[in-house]
Amino acid sequence: MNAPVVTARALTKMYAGVPVVDRVDVDIDGGECWGLLGPNGAGKTTFLRMLVGRTPPTSGDIQVLGHHIPRQASAMRARIGVVPQLDNLDPDFTVNENLRTYAGYFGIDHGGLRERIRELLEFAALSQKADAYLSTLSGGMLRRLSLIRALVNAPELLVLDEPTTGLDPQARQLIWQRLRKLRSEGITLILTTHYMEEAERLCDRVTIMDHGRLLDSGHPRALVRQHIEPHVIEVHGEGLQRWHEETASRLAPRHEIAGDGILYYLNDERPLLEALSGQKQFSFLHRPANLEDVFLKLTGRELRDG
């Protein structure tokens, strides 16, 4: 169960001489939920493409479920499920036909399939929609269909590229529940996401990636403890800069200017809260440190439009 499911060593992918994934070492254990975080262009999707054998590494090594990739990618892909970033369901087919056709690609086409599809539809709360065409399905339903499509072959490993991007909160909650259920059944999950909250809720381990390099890796709470003081106070308001220079900078060991506000990172929040209580012109938010703070500390605040 806990044998490594993915082992990558010095995995590198260059495009036009530029490393997009740069000497990456990864070990993912069986049964864990492993999250990959990074800004746009960090190399996440390229890493996943190498993992599923869609693009050969420029150098380095990767094994998935004991198969050497890309050489044995086909045999490996028979044992995994992939949920793509953008739904590529078949618009010519009903829900049921989508699942049957996809099962056909795995060579699954027998009596047991009907029962398997019934189970999967139930799992995704789509039983009522079995014979519906995709145009009648909501975004959340399409996403759930993509999820169960990736489960038709009873995979040992599920790879999800931004599984809840663009979904409303209800639809996300349902996907999260289902992913936790799969994890509890022992399926290894690999996911990329831009939602820190999603990573914190689902992942046993997150890895933060930028410019093709892995910056750090660990349990979400451990990463927060390791990189960020436990308290964060975000302050906004007129005259903040001056108050900061005269008062606050002495009370907080570390701060960061973000747009028109200042974030204070504190081990002891009380002196700053006390000082703020006399400053009615400021609005402030006192909150525990979270994964987003870690992410922004490691990858910086500048915009990535790449």
Partner 1 sequence: MAESGAADRIIPHRAVRWLPVWRRNLRVWSKLALPSLMGNFGEPLLYLLALGYGLGALVGRIGDMPYMFFLASGIFCSSTMMTASFEATYSAYSRMAVQKSWEAIVTTPLDVLDVVLGEVIWAATKSLFSATAILLVAWALGAVSGDFAVLAIPVALLSGFCFAAMAMVVTALARSYDFFLYYNTLGVTPMLLICGVFFPISQMPAGVQSLAWALPLTHSVALARPLITGAAPENVLLHLSVLTAYGLVALGVAATLLKRRLDA
Binding site for partner 1 (CB under 8 A): 15, 52, 54-56, 73-75, 77-79, 82, 84, 86, 88-93, 97, 101-102, 104-108, 110, 112, 115-116, 119-120, 123, 151-154, 156, 182, 185-187
Between 73 and 223, whose beta carbon lies closer to partner 1?
73
Closest approach, Cβ 76 to partner 1, in A, equals 9
Comparison of 185 and 302: residue with beta carbon closer to partner 1: 185
Residue (10 or 154) nearer to partner 1, CB = 154
Which residue, 67 or 227, is less far from partner 1 as judged by CB?
67
Q: How many CB atoms lie within 10 A of CB 30?
A: 16
Residue 12, φ and ψ in degrees, nearest 5: -135, 140
Nearer to partner 1, 114 or 287 (CB): 114
Between 77 and 143, whose beta carbon lies closer to partner 1? 77
Residue 96 CB, shortest distance to partner 1, in Å, is: 12
